């Protein structure tokens, strides 16, 4: 039996069912949006998009994914984008640089970042935590690195589907 994109979507919905994000919104909405934003790419990348938070937020292990039939390539992408598997998980910069070493992981992280950076989410973060530095800065710094890791047209496809407000930033960074 083959593990399909549709199977990944269902697993993401079930695995993240009842989980809430920092804004108390259903976390499954995020993982589904990331997976759907990668529809222009191959199955392994789409599967990794749907499952990109599975190792972070659930007890599902790498071996469990392999046993379910998830390809080694998709599992490797999931591992690379999972902060706790990084050599220095407390360093945002090192985590992003590690992800940017891999084209496929960069695509998944661009989609994740784009969804998290939706204007309404950034506004809600700012309202909920007015005393914290703006999350927009951290996410924008990550995008500067991630956009360089893949062809501009590929980032454009993701942003156009998920967060068109970031397209002007992509264009500006391409000119630098």
Q: How many CB atoms lie within 10 A of CB 161?
A: 16
> What average pLDDT does the segment 41-48 reach?
98
Q: Is the pLDDT of residue 131 over 80?
A: yes
Q: What percent of the chain has pLDDT over 70?
A: 98
Residue 4 has pLDDT above 90, yes or no: yes
Position 138 confidence tier, pLDDT thresholds 50, 70, 90: confident
* 75-126 confidence digits (pLDDT tens): 999 999 999 888 899 999 999 999 999 999 999 999 999 999 999 988 888 8
Predicted local distance difference test score (pLDDT) of residue 99 = 98
Residues 155 and 164: beta-carbon distance below 8 Å:
no
Is the distance from CB of 40 to CB of 162 less than 8 angstroms?
Answer: no
Q: When comparing pLDDT for 111 and 137, which is higher?
A: 111
> What are residue 20's phi and psi, to 5 degrees?
-115, 150
Single pTM value for the model: 0.95
Pairwise pLDDT comparison (22 vs 44), residue with the higher score: 44
Chain mean pLDDT for the chain:
94
List Cβ neighbours of 10 (8 Å cut-off, separation of 6 or more): none
Does residue 32 carry a pLDDT above 90?
A: yes
Convert the pLDDT of each residue in 64-73 to its tens digit: 999 999 999 9
What pLDDT score does 134 carry?
Answer: 67
CB atoms inside a 10 Å sphere around CB 32: 18
Phi and psi torsions of 145, nearest 5°: -80, -45
State the DSSP code for 26.
B
For the chain, helix (H) and strand (E) counts, in that order, are 12, 0
State whether residue 20 is helix, strand or coil: strand
pLDDT at 1: 62
Q: What's the rounded Cα separation, in Å, for the pair 153 and 66?
A: 31
């Amino acid at each position: 039996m083959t593990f399909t994109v549709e199977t990944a979507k269902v697993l993401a919905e079930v695995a993240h069912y009842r989980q809430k994000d920092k804004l108390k919104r259903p976390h499954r909405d995020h993982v589904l949006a990331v997976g759907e934003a990668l529809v222009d790419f191959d199955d392994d990348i789409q599967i990794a998009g749907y499952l990109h938070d599975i190792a972070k937020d659930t007890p599902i292990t790498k071996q469990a994914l392999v046993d379910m039939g998830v390809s080694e390539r998709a599992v490797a992408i999931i591992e690379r984008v999972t902060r706790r598997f990084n050599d220095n998980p407390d360093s945002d910069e090192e985590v992003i640089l590690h992800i940017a070493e891999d084209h496929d992981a960069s695509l998944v992280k661009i989609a994740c970042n784009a969804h998290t950076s939706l204007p309404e989410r950034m506004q809600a973060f700012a309202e909920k935590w007015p005393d914290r530095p703006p999350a927009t800065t951290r996410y924008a710094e990550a995008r500067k690195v991630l956009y360089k890791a893949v062809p501009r047209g590929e980032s454009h496809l993701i942003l156009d589907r998920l967060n068109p407000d970031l397209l002007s930033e992509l264009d500006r960074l391409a000119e630098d």
